[in-house]
Amino acid sequence: SLLRFSGCVSELSDFTGEKRFREIIEDDYVTPKSVKRVLLCSGKVYYDLLEKQQSEKRKDVAILRLEQLYPTPLGQLQDIVKNFPAMKELVWVQEEPENMGAWPYIVREYDGSDIKLVSREASASPATGFNKQHQKEQAAIVEKAFGKFEKNQRKITV
């Protein structure tokens, strides 16, 4: 839960004055010209991805947070992605199973594009119900998000 997570806070000024809601939050940790993979995500998984990115000093992987799923700011996202001239892969990462979460919607929005997926395997249940197994799967999702896709591989599920 992000309820008491110290990294997930907003200042009062974020809601007043000239600041406004951002549909997409860009990655200020990376240099756009060095990015080869862009991870797109929404929600809590961002903080797990961020921890790995910074602990391993991965400047070749950018993390974009999609804060507004509907209507999807597709034009804005396409403009942001154009800022990564060396990008080879755009990957949606979610902790939910493949058939749940935002992925089914995102893949429809990106009809015909080359977006890839890292998630849990499709399932009738949103979670295993066992904390150890959940943590193991969560770690695998993060690892795979930064790992290598095989040629023509469109998804990695754990």
In a domain, 130, yes or no: yes
In a domain, 36, yes or no: yes
DSSP H or E run through 155 = strand 155-157
Q: At what angle do helices 131-146 and 45-55 cross, to 10 degrees?
A: 50
In a domain, 96, yes or no: yes
Q: What is the CATH number of the domain that holds 76?
A: 3.40.50.11610
CA-only gyration radius of the chain, Å: 16
In a domain, 6, yes or no: no
Judge contact between 49 and 93, C-beta under 8 A: yes
Number of domains in the chain: 1
Host domain of residue 34 = 19-157
pLDDT (0 to 100) of residue 96: 96
12-29 burial code (b ≥16 CB/10 A, e <16): eeeeeeeeeeeebeebee
Q: Is 76 exposed, middle or buried (0-12, 13-18, 19+ CB in 10 A)?
A: middle
Which residues does the chain have with pLDDT short of 70?
Answer: 1, 3, 112
pLDDT (0 to 100) of residue 6: 73
pLDDT (0 to 100) of residue 109: 87
In a domain, 7, yes or no: no
In a domain, 14, yes or no: no
In a domain, 5, yes or no: no
pLDDT in tens, 99-134: 999 999 999 888 767 899 999 999 999 888 899 999
pLDDT (0 to 100) of residue 1: 65
Q: Annotate 87-140 with three-state secondary structure.
A: CCEEEEEEEEECCCCCHHHHHHHCCCCCEEEEEECCCCCCCCCCHHHHHHHHHH
In a domain, 3, yes or no: no
